[in-house]
Amino acid sequence: MEKSGTSRAMLALRIGVLAALTLIGAVFAYRHIADASSQGPIPAAKRDREAKDASRRFGRRAPKPSDTRAPRPAQSSTPGWEKGIVDDDESPSSDYAIRNRWVGTVHGSDVVVFAGASASDASQGLVVVQQLAGDGSASDPQAFVTPTKAGPVHVTTVHGSRVTLVADDGTTFTFDAATLRFD
Amino acid sequence: MRSLRTRRGPRLPAAVAIATIATAAFLTPLPAQAAPTAPAYTTSRYMQNVSTSRHYDLGCALGTRTKNLAGTQQDVVILHYFRPVRFTDGTYGASLLAGSDARTSSIAAAAKEFAHGYYVCTGSDTTSKLILAIGTSNDGSEVTSSHGKAWANLVLSVNDYLSYMGYSSQAWAVGASDVELGFGGPTAARAWMDGFSSVCCPQFYDYGDAAGCRYDGKAAGAECGTGSYPTWTAEDVWYIAWGSPPSRPLPQIYRTDGAMAKQWYGLSLYARSVHSTAMWFMGALTQYNACSTSGCSSSTANTPGAGWTQLWNAINCKYFITTSCPTAQSLTYSTDMSWTD
């Protein structure tokens, strides 16, 4: 009787210890999981914004030149505008994909003519004109589309106020920066 | 009697033992876990020029360093162009350190070259990444919705360029602002944030402070703010740093006593309890280098490693006893301000 009672007691003790260990494990596992996930879900608006931002990154990877000094841009004064035809794709707005620009003087006023295409329709070439103030600031950009859709254009030559542009398909356009019209 | 004792005796102690151990397990603070080693820090800069060649050189210097470090690096750099300005023709910009204002188009051109330099000079390292945080502040009278919108368009133009040129796999820009509770009030700062947020889709990093917010391990509340601008609340700071869809906090952890890290812990607790989601911090900003060259109070000269570790310890509940840690997270970035641009 006593032997049988001791055996039961040992069994109960073993079960008890096993249960305690299981419980301790569960407690620590719960706490570990709770720590990792207890921040709560990232708000939907934030996730959506992040996804849209990420979608603007193109997968294309530019080749890297071995000479890291080679692509170094020319020193430019700040904040003024470099005169002449400038091979720089800086755009006054994300609405336009710019190829290059011309900065010069028309009727005594400095003007910048950006050449390129619409960001939403690459087949539609255009120029974007801004008048420059003495303090280096610029007026709101005005866009003028090419008479035909011949792809993005770039400035090749300038005579007076007449800006010659060539499109990707070879079509030539002339834009008059004085009258703000294409010929 | 003996039989009864042998039957009941062992069960009772076992049950007591189980209950005791389980209770102790719940009540004992989380097991001590040392903070991980802080990541290699980057140098962020107070800018006094928008020279494209100088920006290229700075980006190239960072890219070269990154290339020479083992493994893949996650770099973040803040280029701080100071307070918002508005030109007479209605266009926007920032004041720069020396006060010669720069238009957003000039800042964009410069930032593009920083990213370009980084991309080129990381060379054979094609996996490390740069987040370029183009920063202004909430200081001055031009902290407006329109300026926020212009700043977002600035970032957008930089990212369009990076995508177009094929640099975006390793360099990407975000908007940023040093939103300090002593610079201005919450109304203007929130309006600026809303203007920024209205432009799809740049992200935004708040690298400001949480002056006045409590740092005693409890959720922040109405106590935030400064003597000049006392109307700030935890809700305002939360909105700028996390609540607005583009926002992420990359806070200043300048103080050596850990108080600033604890303030952000209190704000994250606020976020969790009031808005269901704790803040997710991008990293910690220190000013050790700037202090070394130009001086500052030694109490605000945390080293980059110390600042990062303080923030990690705070948000992972190492300063205050908790049964669980609702703000726990990893911490990616460490960056340190420099006056050298």
Give the nearest chain B residue to A44 (CA atoms): B245
- Residue that the structure tokens 């945080």 belong to: B133
- The identity of residue B275, as a single letter, is H
**Residues B288-308, mean pLDDT to the nearest whole number:** 96
Q: What's the CA angle centered on A81, arms A149 and A101, to 5 degrees?
A: 15
pLDDT band at B23 (very low <50, low <70, confident <90, very high): low
Per the domain annotation, does B12 fall within a domain? Answer: no
Is residue B98 within 8 A of residue B147, CB to CB? The reply is: no
A152-162: per-residue pLDDT in tens?
A: 999 999 998 99
Predicted local confidence at residue A134, as pLDDT: 56
- Residue that the structure tokens 């309006």 belong to: B191
Can you give the residue ranges of every domain in chain A? Answer: 2-54, 84-182
User: Would the CB atoms of B26 and A137 count as touching at under 8 Å?
Assistant: no
Is residue B240 within 8 A of residue B188, CB to CB? The reply is: no
Predicted local confidence at residue A36, as pLDDT: 46
Q: Tell me, what CATH number does B186's domain have?
A: 3.20.20
Q: What's the CA angle centered on B339, arms B308 and B100, to 5 degrees?
A: 130
Confirm whether pTM is higher than 0.80: no
pLDDT band at B27 (very low <50, low <70, confident <90, very high): very low
* B260: nearest Cα among B315, B321, B331: B315
Task: Give the domain extent around B228.
Answer: 35-338
If you ran DSSP here, which 8-state letter would residue B256 be given?
A: T
**Residues B41-51, mean pLDDT to the nearest whole number:** 94
User: Would the CB atoms of A56 and B103 count as touching at under 8 Å?
Assistant: no
| pLDDT winner (highest mean) among B27-36, B160-169, B202-211 | B202-211
Mean pLDDT of each 10-residue bin along chain A, 183 residues long: 69 81 61 53 90 81 82 44 77 79 86 91 93 63 92 92 93 94 92
Q: Which ipTM was obtained for this model?
A: 0.83
Predicted local confidence at residue A180, as pLDDT: 93
My answer on whether omega of the bond before B325 falls inside 30° of 0, hence cis, is no
Separation of alpha carbons A151 and A167, rounded Å = 6
* B195: nearest Cα among B237, B234, B244, B229: B244
Dihedral sign for Cα atoms in the order B262, B268, B271, B273: negative
Q: Which residues 41-100 of B have a C-beta within 8 angstroms of A?
A: 49-53, 56-57, 60, 64, 87-91, 100
Question: Does position B159 have pLDDT exceeding 60, yes or no?
Answer: yes
User: Would the CB atoms of B52 and A76 count as touching at under 8 Å?
Assistant: yes
Average pLDDT, rounded, for chain B: 91
B25, B160, B325 member nearest A24 (Cβ): B25
Separation of alpha carbons B216 and B318, rounded Å = 13
Contacts of B166 in chain A (CB under 8 A): 58, 60-62
Is residue B111 within 8 A of residue B158, CB to CB? The reply is: yes
* B213: nearest Cα among B249, B176, B174: B249
Q: What residues contact residue A27 under an 8 Å CB cut-off, 6+ apart?
A: B22, B25, B26
For residues B297 and A10, the model is more confident at B297
Choose from B18, B53, B269 for mutation: most chain A CBs within 10 A.
B18
Distances, alpha carbon B83 to alpha carbons B138, B144, B176, B179, B252, in Å? 7, 11, 12, 10, 17
Per the domain annotation, does B19 fall within a domain? Answer: no
B97-119: per-residue pLDDT in tens?
A: 876 899 999 999 999 999 999 99
pLDDT band at B22 (very low <50, low <70, confident <90, very high): low
B213-233: per-residue pLDDT in tens?
A: 999 999 999 999 999 999 999
Q: Percent of chain B beyond pLDDT 90?
A: 80
Predicted local confidence at residue A110, as pLDDT: 84
Predicted local confidence at residue B323, as pLDDT: 82
B73-106: per-residue pLDDT in tens?
A: 999 999 999 999 998 888 899 999 876 899 999 9
**Residues B146-169, mean pLDDT to the nearest whole number:** 93
Separation of alpha carbons B263 and B244, rounded Å = 20
User: Would the CB atoms of A138 and B91 count as touching at under 8 Å?
Assistant: yes
Predicted local confidence at residue B33, as pLDDT: 66
Predicted local confidence at residue B303, as pLDDT: 98
Count structural domains, chain B: 1
User: Would the CB atoms of B201 and A53 count as touching at under 8 Å?
Assistant: yes
Predicted local confidence at residue A33, as pLDDT: 43
User: Would the CB atoms of A5 and B3 count as touching at under 8 Å?
Assistant: yes
Predicted local confidence at residue B19, as pLDDT: 57
**Residues B226-254, mean pLDDT to the nearest whole number:** 98
